[in-house]
Amino acid sequence: MSLLQVRDLNIFFRTQSGSINIVNNLNFDIEEATVFGLAGESGSGKSLTALAIMGILPPNIYAEGTVNFKGTNLLTLSPEAIRDLRGREISMIFQEPMTSLNPVLKVGHQIREVITTHLKVTKKEADKITLGLMRAVKIPAPEIRMKEYPHQMSGGMRQRIMMAMAIACSPSLLIADEPTTALDVTIQAQLLELLRDLRQQKNMAVLLITHDLGVIAENAEKVAIMYAGRLVELADVHTLFEEPRHPYTIGLLRCLPRGKGTPLKPIPGTVPKPNHLPPGCKFSDRCGFAIPECKTKEPALRKIKDGHLARCIRAEEIEQYKVA
């Protein structure tokens, strides 16, 4: 059985005039100790999916469906039970660590708090584990830096503190939501390398969320592409890059730098808002390969071959579009 099974996950936003569906019927599995990439443009529903798995959706948003983690449906757990799992079995790192670190507590204290919440250890033992974690995330002079406040650290160092907190109890699943987007490219590369090392050492599965397919290519084994709250393509990483079957995936791939002199081709238009989705295929109004039928009936996510799904009625003809 997979470590995480997401089944018919729907996420809704409550408004005075009723609920708006933001994430629609998601289904995917994450196997133990593997990296699963979730990609898509801003507003496609990636973060809300992560927050639903973690049980930390904002009050005006709710989820339906099942999220089975080691056989338990997280969506029906009591708040106490999910709080106990969080940090111990599943943890998360966010794009901007400043918003998730407490500005008035020293970073060492914040790491230690995760340890003492979940493990029965003395204060001295917790300090020792804290130092070990700071070394594991390669923070220089940890004895000194553990006494610093978040604002005294650089963005990259703060993200390392977040990582130390996230791996403190050796969770089975780490959710990393755009963990490096706010940082410059050198720091980004260092942190992704650190994430790869930690994942191997700790044997963790990772749900890696990003809008950057380059990051996916280097880090993930399986990939799901999300558009307007739906999965539009799902495949192993090699297949997705070599044989994409959805025009949106191809559009994202065309946005990747392809060497000197090759211009980037952005996808025209923007992701529609959840309450203004077009009828039919949600991508049809931006799709250069759409035919009239695409505008009337929403295609199902269907099997192209084992382990490869795409939500496009023209998936088999896609070579023509790739060349164009």
Ligand X SMILES: Nc1ncnc2c1ncn2[C@@H]1O[C@H](COP(=O)(O)OP(=O)(O)OP(=O)(O)O)[C@@H](O)[C@H]1O
- Between residue 187 and residue 246, which ones bind ligand X under the rule CB under 6 A? 211
- Least Å distance between CB 51 and ligand X? 8
Q: Is 58 in the site for ligand X (CB under 6 A)?
A: yes
Cβ-based neighbours of 36, under 8 Å, separated by 6 or more = 28, 30, 205, 206, 207, 208, 220, 221, 222, 223, 224
Task: Kindly tell me which of 95 and 239 has the beta carbon lying closer to Mg ion.
Answer: 95
- Least Å distance between CB 209 and Mg ion? 7
Q: Is 181 in the site for Mg ion (CB under 5 A)?
A: no
**Gap between the Cα atoms of 221 and 145, Å rounded:** 35
Q: Is 100 in the site for Mg ion (CB under 5 A)?
A: no
Out of 4, 6, 13, 91, the only residue in the binding site for ligand X (CB under 6 A) is: 13
- Least Å distance between CB 135 and ligand X? 31
Q: Which does 196 bind (CB under 5 to 8 A by kind): ligand X, Mg ion, none?
A: none
**Gap between the Cα atoms of 67 and 6, Å rounded:** 5
- Kind of pairing, strands 72-73 and 61-69? antiparallel
Tell me if 69 sits within 8 A of 90, measured CB to CB. Answer: yes
Task: Kindly tell me which of 44 and 284 has the beta carbon lying closer to ligand X.
Answer: 44
- Least Å distance between CB 10 and ligand X? 13
- Least Å distance between CB 272 and ligand X? 9
How far, CA to CA in Å, does 19 sit from each of 49, 225, 279? 17, 25, 18
**Gap between the Cα atoms of 43 and 51, Å rounded:** 14
Binding segment for Mg ion (CB under 5 A), chosen from 47-55, 120-128, 139-147, 265-273, is: 47-55
Read off the amino acid at residue 199. Answer: R
Out of 1, 42, 269, 291, the only residue in the binding site for ligand X (CB under 6 A) is: 42
Among the listed residues 231, 250, 233, the one whose alpha carbon sits nearest the alpha carbon of residue 288: 250
Contact footprint for ligand X (CB under 6 A): 13, 22, 40, 42-48, 58, 60-61, 211, 273-274
